[in-house]
Structure 1
Amino acid sequence: MIDLLFSQYKDYSNLHIFLEIIGVIFGLISVWCAKKDNILVFPTGIISTTIFIYLLWEWKLLGDFTINIYYSIMSVYGWYHWTRKKEGKTEFPIANITKNEKLWAIVIFVLTSIGVVLIYTFFDKFTSWTAYVDTFTTGVFFVGMWLMAKRKVEHWIFWIVGDIVSIPLYYYKGLTFTSLQYFIFTIIAFYGYIEWKKTLNNSLQKS
């Protein structure tokens, strides 16, 4: 069983394996903080995505590389957005997605997917089915990260969909630790959605 899961690493450098594990640990901490609506989701997330930016560039996984650059940028935006206060109260608490944001979500998904297609086409990387799946998951994760930065409950749905698809995808790519990370992400995202819904319902009842 161990050989089945980790045999892909026999040709990896110790540095890359170590960095992947560290990136996974901080990624898990980040998602757990997101579940708890804790601002530490962003600094811990930035550590994880920065590590993966380096690794994914080394491994020539351009779609995933692009996602992590975007994550880092949106983490800075989200960090600022979550800390904004108005008259001593959080200016942007947990909320449901609006009709206008739904339209923007569609636009972001479409434009992101087109962008990934162009990148893969330019680098002649449409040589495997994984490129097509990457296109889909990149669009899903771009929307999910944008909605998380805006503190919308529905961002968890996008994480769940993207995480489920990513579990077998990353294992196929030879990144077992990252695949396991997405398996745990899926579980945390499920409970995160329930917890955020409960928080939102409680705040609506008090208002």
Structure 2
Amino acid sequence: MGWATSWTEILGFATGAVCVWLVGRQHIANWPVGIANNVFFIVLFTQAGLYADAGLQVVFIALAGYGWWMWTHGGGPGSAEVLAVRRTTSTEWVALVAAGATGVFALTMLLSSATDSSVPFWDALTTGLSLMATYGQCRKLLESWWLWIAADLVYIPLYIHKDLYLTALLYTGFLVLCVVGLLRWRRSIAGSATGSRESLGAAA
């Protein structure tokens, strides 16, 4: 298609697509696949001058360890219970928005003064949204998918601007997978609610 690309971008494309698909299915393998994806993108984004996005991948790797543990242990010490999908509470939203806004402002200032980034605000914004979404993913918060959708809507034109066309295409695919994941997680919550009502009815 006349696009300039690299094996790093191609491998990032492949592992990223598989990772998001696995998250939508609540499959635990999304975490190791996601870590591999982060490594490829560290290299790719550093070469493209997207320094916040490159640094974000390091944070993603750390969060992947946390999310991997949360998904397998339900968040409780010594618990083997699988973490259930739930909605984000008002308190969690306040904390997420406050932390995200603070982070975006601070990172924009840092990128503007300490790097040669040509898109400091947009780089910082996608970083903030992605971190908020990843935390929600670790906790299986339904609304984390909306945060990913918002991030993807900024990522796509940003990567086109940086001539990362394959990555922009990948994030277009991510956008579609995020909608699918949102619908699957919503059904999971509905199924859990139905199961709880049936259990209460049987107990009565």
Length-normalised TM-score, structure 2: 0.88
2:31 matches 1:42: yes
Looking at structure 2, the residues matched to 115 and 33 of structure 1 have their Cα atoms a distance apart, in angstroms, of 33
- Corresponding residue of 1:119: 110
Looking at structure 2, the residues matched to 66 and 186 of structure 1 have their Cα atoms a distance apart, in angstroms, of 22
Query: Unpaired runs of 5+ in structure 2?
Result: 197-204
User: Is the CA contact (8 Å cut-off) linking 1:112 and 1:142 kept in structure 2?
Assistant: no
User: Is the CA contact (8 Å cut-off) linking 1:108 and 1:142 kept in structure 2?
Assistant: no
The size of the alignment, in residue pairs, is 193
Q: 1:108 aligns with which of 92, 99, 105?
A: 99
**Percent identity between the two aligned chains:** 24
What value does the CA root-mean-square deviation take over the aligned residues? 1.7
Alpha-carbon displacement from aligned partner over 1:78-135 (angstroms, at most 9, x marks no partner): 0011010566532x31111112211121122123203312330332435x3x322222
Q: 1:163 aligns with which of 152, 156, 170?
A: 152
Query: Unpaired runs of 5+ in structure 1?
Result: none
Amino acid at match of 1:33: L
1:148 to 1:88, Cα distance in 2 relative to 1, 3 A? closer
User: Is the CA contact (8 Å cut-off) linking 1:144 and 1:156 kept in structure 2?
Assistant: yes
1:47-126 mapped onto 2 (5 Å cutoff): 47-85=36-74, 89-90=81-82, 92-125=83-116
Mean Cα deviation higher: 64-73 or 189-198: 64-73
Shift in Å, 1:59:
3.0
1:51 to 1:124, Cα distance in 2 relative to 1, 3 A? closer
Q: What is the DSSP-based 3-state SS (H/G/I as helix, E as strand, rest coil) of the residue aligned with 1:89?
A: coil
Shift in Å, 1:189:
0.2
Q: What is the DSSP-based 3-state SS (H/G/I as helix, E as strand, rest coil) of the residue aligned with 1:189?
A: helix
- Corresponding residue of 1:180: 169
